[in-house]
Chain A
């Protein structure tokens, strides 16, 4: 089974709201990732967690706050977002935080009004 799940599928929020995106995998993978994807562009890496510790933050604004409560779960907390943050947010996982195949979830379509 190579399934990564994400909730919610769609999210509409105002610029003053606080919301969270959730990601779960049960493949025993020890690396998890958040990506942001705009229309007709490739995914852009935001964060990498390795063994539940943040190992890479690609200079992401502080209004995005990741959290890894355990090896199967990954959250992305959102606060005071801007309309330009509207995008498809993708979670991925791989066995190790090294050269390895990444498996993506279905994504959360985020719209910021």
Chain B
């Protein structure tokens, strides 16, 4: 069974204070690892898809990296508008491979 664990559960940063969110996963044959941003009461907004260890993707202040066991979402010089819950999900090769397994998310608050 695929498993995803995100840490920390909650993170408070000062504006400009860079940090990283962790997503540890166990999956049989990784087919894709996904990062989403979710604002309260809204649907998840797609950020990145990573497919293989060593892959990195960037978008503005965000950079996602992937190893064989975990993924990091690095936030450089965050701004208050980066405050949101960040969800990680994986799709594996076993079972219904199009059913992603989600982590419980990291709630990020960036103070001005």
Binding site for B on A (CB under 8 A): 2, 4, 6, 31, 40-43, 45, 48, 56, 88, 90, 92, 94, 96-107, 109
Contacts and interface: CB of A to CB of B under 8 A. Distances in A.
A35 to B, nearest CB: 9
Interface string B91-112: 1010011111011110000000
Contacts of B89: 42
A48 B98 contact: yes
Contact of B102 (A40, A43, A98): A43
Contact of A104 (B46, B97, B104, B105): B46
A36 B21 CA distance: 25
Nearest to A2: B46
Contacts of A92: 43
Contacts of A48: 96, 98-99
Nearest to B34: A101
Contacts of B100: 102
Task: Identify the interface centre among A4, A42, A45, A105: most chain B CB within 10 Å of its CB.
Answer: A42
A42 B105 contact: yes
B28 to A, nearest CB: 12
Contacts of A106: 42-43
Given A2-B46, A42-B103, A107 B41 contact: yes
Contacts of A101: 32, 34, 46, 49
A42 B100 CA distance: 11
25 contacts: A6-B43, A40-B105, A42-B89, A42-B102, A42-B103, A42-B104, A43-B102, A45-B99, A48-B99, A56-B96, A88-B41, A90-B44, A97-B98, A98-B97, A100-B98, A101-B49, A102-B46, A102-B100, A103-B46, A104-B36, A104-B46, A105-B43, A106-B43, A107-B42, A109-B41
